[in-house]
Structure 1
Amino acid sequence: MNLKETDLPGIGKKFVVQTRSGEKLAIIIHDDGRREMYHYDEENPDDRTRKIVLDDDEARYVSAIVGGVTYQPTALENIEVALGGLIIESYRLESNFKAIGKTIGELRIRQRSGATIIAVIENNQKKHVNPGADLMLTANATVVVIGERLHQQQIRHILLNGSV
């Protein structure tokens, strides 16, 4: 299996998978969350067909792409805004998150991830806009963060595991 990944500025990402059987599948994930899938005939690459056969590991890989595991479009439900590479994303702190019971300062969020927490909305709907380092994170709170895509990946890891 061969995979080619291409950024489509202003649109999203394009993934082209060439299967071991020689078939080609193009998947376009738009920033608004739409997915387009095209199957191309190996003899006539301009003709799209409707059916493709994937073996088990190919199907799992394609499902990861389509499911947003390898790339999250900027308009998925947990992403609020994308501005010039900066993304505002929210994270609900499930009971298994290691960040629960720790303060923003203890987690050293900004230093370790490059992202900034701009708000925390507690389970009782109490809002903390521009919270300080002494705010303790609680279960089921929603943490609103601004940063670039890499920063968002790092903060997600910190909130879940307590470390980068």
Structure 2
Amino acid sequence: MNLKETDLPGIGKKFSMETRSGKNLNIMIRDDGRRELSHSDLDNPDEPISMVTLDDDEAKYVSAIIGGATYKPTALDNIEVALGDLIIEWYRLDSKYKAIGKTIGDLRIRQRSGATVIAVIEQNHSKHINPGPDLLFTSGALVVVLGERLHQQQIQQILLNGE
């Protein structure tokens, strides 16, 4: 997940985020209190697919909903209790990931990061649950990783750098 913050003098501030689903989410906070939310494809970030404008009160209400203040799924409560400090993250191996073409064993993921690859879902939807060291990372694969926050930061660098 990449977050970019841009000052817009005389207008406000813009936040852009690449989502794991392959979209670009833009949030512009205007100096007059309005918020503009839009999303676009990563390959054409300046062409919004959709846009909505919220006033200050609407934005606060929506942020409470998204943040879980008004409703928190029961499944998430159970996962947080069961996992404690452990986090499950998903990494979509797009072209910027140099781990493509290498195996879990080649990268020595568990030894170097402390994280565990618990599943890999290929672009063709074939699933590898609890994959072994011989599993080859392919372009477009979704890699599901279990570990603490520091482990997740380390594995992300291993996957990005391919070493």
Q: TM-score, normalised by structure 1?
A: 0.50
Q: Is it true that 1:124 corresponds to 2:127 in the alignment?
A: no
* Identity across matched positions, percent: 69
Aligned residues: 87
Please list every run of 5 or more consecutive structure 1 residues that lacks an aligned counterpart in the other structure: 1-49, 52-72, 74-79
Deviation at 1:162, TM superposition (A): 1.6
Q: Secondary structure at the match of 1:95?
A: coil
In structure 1, C-alpha distance between the alignment counterparts of 2:110 and 2:153, rounded to whole Å: 13
In structure 2, C-alpha distance between the alignment counterparts of 1:96 and 1:88, rounded to whole Å: 21
In structure 2, C-alpha distance between the alignment counterparts of 1:117 and 1:103, rounded to whole Å: 11
In structure 2, C-alpha distance between the alignment counterparts of 1:135 and 1:162, rounded to whole Å: 14
Structure of higher CA gyration radius: 1
Return the letter of the residue paired with 1:92: R
> After superposition, where does 1:26-65 map in structure 2 within 5 Å?
none
In structure 2, C-alpha distance between the alignment counterparts of 1:145 and 1:105, rounded to whole Å: 15
What is the match of residue 114 of structure 1?
A: 114
> After superposition, where does 1:138-157 map in structure 2 within 5 Å?
138-157=138-157
- Detail structure 1 runs of 4+ shifted over 6 Å in the superposition: none
What is the match of residue 105 of structure 1?
A: 105
The RMSD of aligned alpha carbons is 2.0
> Deviations along 1:93-140, whole A, 9 cap, x unmatched?
011211000000000000000000000000000000000100000001
In structure 2, C-alpha distance between the alignment counterparts of 1:102 and 1:159, rounded to whole Å: 10
In structure 2, C-alpha distance between the alignment counterparts of 1:94 and 1:152, rounded to whole Å: 17
Q: Secondary structure at the match of 2:144?
A: strand
